[in-house]
Amino acid sequence: SLEAGILQPLDMEQFNSAPAAGTVDQQLLPKAEAAPSSEPPDPKTCSPREYLEFYIFPVLLPGLAELLHEAEKEKCFEGRRTKFIASDFLTEWLYNKNPKRKDESFTEFFSIPFVKDWLKDHPRPPIPLSLLLSEEEASIIIQSFWRGYRVRCNSEIQELRQWQKKFREERHINKVVIQFWNKQEAK
């Protein structure tokens, strides 16, 4: 099934082997040539297909498998919107799995040097609060707003609020505050 394929780690032999009978027409997909067991081809002179098979796919496919696992953890397949950004995850994963960084510690996405440089010139808009809050946090905010609204609708509370408004207007509180700050700025 599709879900079983998503949840299991990818194997390079799976991509080089022929598909099962009846699943895909053999004429639709080019047959994978047997990979020579000797050294890999020269990256500057090999064909694009060889370059992809020997240099790109062995690194990228495990990253895509991890991306699918993480997307499932973040429940991306359940809703239309999510805070999970697949390109950020894949960038972080590839950066940390780079053989040149084998002995270095894990680096978070926003701490990667080229990401920092890019984001200085191209800042991102903030992630909407609706995507950052869990369902429980959102329900608490909604419930507290509703309780506040219901209390403010109470006739006694309305009377108190009207009295406070009238009191502020009679005492010219706004003018007093402005005069106070003018004095403070003059000092």
Quick: pLDDT tens for 52-102: 988 889 889 999 999 999 999 988 888 788 888 899 999 999 999 888 888
Predicted TM-score (pTM) of the model is 0.54
Best CA proximity match to 87, nearest among 71, 104, 111, 72:
71
At residue 100, the pLDDT reads 85
Query: Is residue 37 over pLDDT 90?
Result: no
Best CA proximity match to 96, nearest among 118, 116, 111:
111
Domain locations in the chain as residue ranges: 48-126, 135-186
Query: Is residue 109 over pLDDT 60?
Result: yes
Helix axis angle, 155-171 relative to 173-186, nearest 10°? 50
How many residues appear in the chain?
187
